Amino acid sequence: MNDDTLHEARFFHSRLIDLLRVEFASLGAFLEALAEFDRRKLFRTLGHADLFAYLHKGLKLSRAAAHHRRAGAWLVQRFPEVLEPIREGKLCFTTAAVLASVATEENLAAVLPRFYGLSKQEALELAAELKPRTLVPTRTVVTRVEADRPVDPVAEAKQTVPEIRPGELWMPRTGVERTEPERTVVEPMTATASRMHVTVSREFLALLKRAKAGQAHVQPGASDEEVLTAALELLIEKQTRRKACVPAKVKREVVKRDQGKCQWPIHDGGICGATVRLEIDHVVPRGKGGPSTVENCRILCKAHNLEAARQVYGDAHMDLFTPGGSPGGGPVAREDVAAYEASPRPLHVSADQSRASGPPLTGARPGAKDQVMQSWASQTGGERLPLSDRHCR
């Protein structure tokens, strides 16, 4: 990173901090004014039945946005002391609304700081701990989801291009439209129990039924949760074995030392701290003689592991193996291990796999750096160039 780029990044960082302070102050001012507006019932003068109707119809907010702001206004009316953490950015609309459902005169002093900096899901989990549901059903409910209406190709073909108004630009739709995957909704019920809403296929239900029948021999009367837990434990065990390019003892020590968080340094002296999509990274790459020791390993998230590779090889080279040139969107580079210790065990493949994919790579499980090496070799007439094994997961 050159000095000009660093200066530009710091300038934008400072500017964004200033704008964020303005946003937090505006949020506090809005809730303070809205609380007074509600206390004086001025929405009636404007013809609205209640504060929610005013926010939804008068200010044109969505129903969810209106709900959160109404709850925040009620919270400010009951406890004016929450305005200060709102102005400081410690509470947002959604967390303030969740806080309003559990805060009382007796517990506010102890409860309020626990909501600082939480996401909506984390706030809901804390609220479930403070005010658990009295009745938590444990049964599994399966409902049918109606299939989409079948598309008539003849009717589709007869559709005409929409009318283009003056000043408008119409672009035809090309390619396959992307759809976002359905999210699994998790609703905290108590400190230890949550309800999960997930849409599954009929094949999934058939597999679950078969798994329950098979599990009945060793765990009679097992619930869906118990069967799925056993299946997930087996999957995690399999994944752990597949990731064992670093000795298990070393990995445990690294995870303990780094507290299961990404250790990539950021500009203000802290670390990334991500806790998902984590990988074991060699500070001194294995291909350059770096050993798989506790001192030479650290935890990085996938994005920063790729960033480490970009710093070694450069963006132009890594973009060859990242679709669209965007970090995290493509394979991860990997190389053979340098001879700093006894030769690692070769990766075992079947004869059919060997014939289908050529000679196996050795030293680590297949990953994106393997693909980098294979692709690079094909571009250079078969020559294997040394690449750093920074993406050992």
Over the stretch 342-352, which tens digit does the pLDDT of each residue have? 334 443 434 44
Q: Tell me, yes or no, if the pTM score tops 0.85.
A: no
Torsion of CA 221, 223, 227, 232, to 10 degrees: -150
Q: What is the pLDDT of residue 146?
A: 63
Q: Cβ-count burial of 11 within 10 angstroms (0-12 exposed, 13-18 middle, 19+ buried)?
A: exposed
pLDDT recorded at residue 31: 94
Instruction: Residue 56: name the closest of 46, 47, 65 by CA.
Output: 65
Contact between 369 and 387 under an 8 Å Cβ cutoff? The reply is yes
pLDDT in tens, the chain (393 residues): 578 888 899 999 999 999 999 999 999 999 999 999 999 999 999 988 899 999 999 999 999 999 999 999 999 999 999 999 999 999 988 899 899 989 999 999 999 999 999 988 899 999 989 988 776 666 676 777 665 555 555 555 444 444 444 444 434 444 444 455 567 778 888 878 888 888 888 888 889 888 888 888 888 888 888 888 888 888 888 776 665 568 888 989 999 999 999 999 987 788 988 898 898 888 887 767 788 899 999 999 988 888 887 887 788 877 777 655 444 444 444 544 444 343 344 434 344 443 344 444 333 444 444 444 444 444 444 433 333 344 443
Residue 288 CB burial class (10 angstroms; 0-12, 13-18, ≥19): middle
Residue 128's CB is within 10 A of a number of other CB atoms, namely 21
The Cα-based distances of 335 to 291, 303, 354 in angstroms read 14, 19, 19
Token pair for 247: 């000795």
At 137 the pLDDT is 62
**What are phi and psi for residue 299, nearest 5 degrees?**
-95, 130
* Residues contacting 293, CB < 8 A, separation 6+: 250
How far apart CA 164 and CA 116 sit, in angstroms, is 50
Q: Quick: pLDDT tens for 291-348.
A: 889 999 999 998 888 888 788 778 887 777 765 544 444 444 454 444 434 334 443 4
CA distance 121 to 119: 5
